[in-house]
C-alpha cells in the first residue's frame, strides 16, 4: 500500500472566460480508470454542444496511470497542460475535464496552454487538495488509574485518539503513522509500567488538510 499521497477532497466545478470563450472545469476524485472514463463520458454527454471537452486524469493503484486528451485542440495545448498541473501539484486519483465553448477569438497555442492550465489549477483549488496517510490502529486496554497519564502522553505527542470506550477498563484506539508502531507501543508500555494490553489492528488511510488538520 502507498504510504502517503495527495488527492482531492471533493468534486468541484469552476468557470472563467478568456476572450469570450467559456472554460468550465469539472473535477472529481476517482479510484479506478473505469470511474474516470465514466465521469468523462458523462460530461461529454452533458456538454454535447461544447467545442471541446479536454480531459486529464492520474490514478495510482497497483501502478500509475496517467492519460489525457486534447479533444480537437492543437496537439499539446490542452490535455497535456492540464495533466502537467496535476503532476506539478503531486495529486493522484483525480480526473479533470475542462470544457470550452468557443467565443469567436483564437487564443493561439500559448493562450490555450495558459487557459487549460488555469482551468485545471482552479478546479484543484476548489476541490481542496488533501493528503492521505496510511496509519495503523493501535488498540489499548488500560486500568482507570493509569488512563490519565497515558492519555496525557498520547496527546502531548500529537497522536490521534480515534475512540475511547469506558467499561470495566478503558479501551482506546489510537492511529499512528504506519512504520511507527513499535515506538508508540514502547512508549505505552513505559507509561503504563507494562500493565497496558496493546494490540496492532488494521491499517487505514486518514485525510489531512493542507493545514495539517484531521478531516473526518
The pLDDT of residue 24 is 98
The pLDDT of residue 62 is 77
Q: How confident is the model at residue 3 (pLDDT cuts 50, 70, 90)?
A: confident
If you average pLDDT over residues 55-75, what whole number do you get?
Answer: 93
Q: What are phi and psi of 70, to 5 degrees?
A: -80, -15
For the entire predicted model, the pTM comes to 0.84
DSSP alpha helix (H) spans, the chain: 33-46, 79-88, 108-127, 144-156, 181-191
Q: What domains sit in the chain, N to C, each tagged with a CATH number?
A: 4-127 (3.30.230.30), 131-215 (3.30.70.240)
The CA–CA distances, whole Å, from 98 to 20, 110, 121, 129, 165 equal 16, 17, 11, 18, 48
pLDDT at 156 over 90: no
Amino acid at each position: 500500500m502507498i504510504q502517503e499521497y495527495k488527492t482531492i477532497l471533493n468534486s468541484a466545478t469552476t468557470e472563467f472566460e478568456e476572450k469570450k470563450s467559456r472554460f468550465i472545469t469539472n473535477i472529481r476524485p476517482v479510484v479506478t480508470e473505469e470511474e474516470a472514463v465514466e465521469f468523462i463520458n458523462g460530461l461529454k454527454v452533458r456538454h454535447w454542444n461544447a467545442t471541446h471537452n479536454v480531459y486529464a486524469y492520474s490514478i495510482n493503484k497497483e501502478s500509475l496511470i496517467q492519460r489525457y486528451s486534447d479533444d480537437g485542440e492543437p496537439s499539446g495545448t490542452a490535455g497535456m497542460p492540464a495533466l502537467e498541473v496535476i503532476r506539478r501539484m503531486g495529486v493522484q486519483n483525480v480526473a479533470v475535464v475542462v470544457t470550452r465553448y468557443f467565443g469567436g477569438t483564437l487564443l493561439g497555442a500559448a493562450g490555450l496552454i495558459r487557459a487549460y492550465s488555469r482551468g485545471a489549477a482552479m478546479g484543484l483549488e476548489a476541490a481542496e487538495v488533501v493528503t492521505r496517510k496510511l496509519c495503523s490502529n493501535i488498540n489499548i486496554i488500560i486500568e482507570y488509574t493509569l488512563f490519565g497519564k497515558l492519555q496525557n502522553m498520547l496527546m502531548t505527542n500529537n497522536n490521534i485518539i480515534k475512540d475511547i470506550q469506558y467499561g470495566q477498563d478503558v479501551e482506546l484506539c489510537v492511529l499512528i503513522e504506519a512504520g511507527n508502531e513499535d515506538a508508540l507501543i514502547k512508549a505505552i508500555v513505559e507509561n503504563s509500567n507494562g500493565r497496558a494490553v496493546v494490540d496492532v489492528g488494521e491499517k487505514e488511510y486518514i485525510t489531512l488538510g493542507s493545514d495539517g488538520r484531521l478531516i473526518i
